[in-house]
Copies of this chain bind each other. A is one copy, B any other.
Amino acid sequence: MEAQVTEAKPRSRAATRQRLLEAARGLFAEHGYEQVTVRMIAAAAEANIALVGRYFGSKAGLFSEVLAGEPTVAGVLEGEPEGLARRLAEFAVARMHSEPESPILRSLERSAGDPEIRELVRDRLRNAIISPMAANLTGDDALSRARLATAVFLGIGTMRRLLGPEPPSPDDVDRLTAVFEACFRP
């Protein structure tokens, strides 16, 4: 949570910008866009509030840059399509049993109030997950099936956030693999 830099902070634009960016990343990932205030970000980065506006234009601009810099599940998506369901299942199970710290997907679920932010999130979801996933599928309604699988993925995240992490079970991966395969079946 408080992953702030302990080293002395030099009077450097680039370094301060970076601290703000990383602080924002962590907070957004944990709490979502709306629950995080610029004052929280500035405090976590040990920087002044006004610098958020100066360096990123606005809170939304900062969020946008965080989103752009975030690694995606691309590594899971590429590879032979046969194993896709299992790779997704393994990835989801890993997320399911780990504590909150996790990529920006976390904030995808719950950042929806501001329409501008919603659009950012939607584009990101499409371009980073659904489209590449659909590209791995064959058949007419590949997009629709990719959407369904992504929905399952998001739903698991929502559930974990709401009810807390589940006790792991060795059957989880197998069952989830079957679920994703059912999503992908033409």
Contact = CB atoms under 8 A, between A and B. Distances in A.
A159 B166 contact: no
Contacts of A153: 155
Most chain B CB within a 10 A radius of its CB, from A108, A121, A148: A148
Interface in A57-88: none
A158 B109 contact: yes
A86 to B, nearest CB: 13
A118 B175 contact: no
A169 B142 CA distance: 12
Interface of A: 32, 34-35, 108-110, 112-113, 118, 121-122, 125-126, 141, 144-145, 147-148, 150-156, 158-159, 161-163, 166, 169, 171-172, 175-176, 178-179, 181-183, 185-186
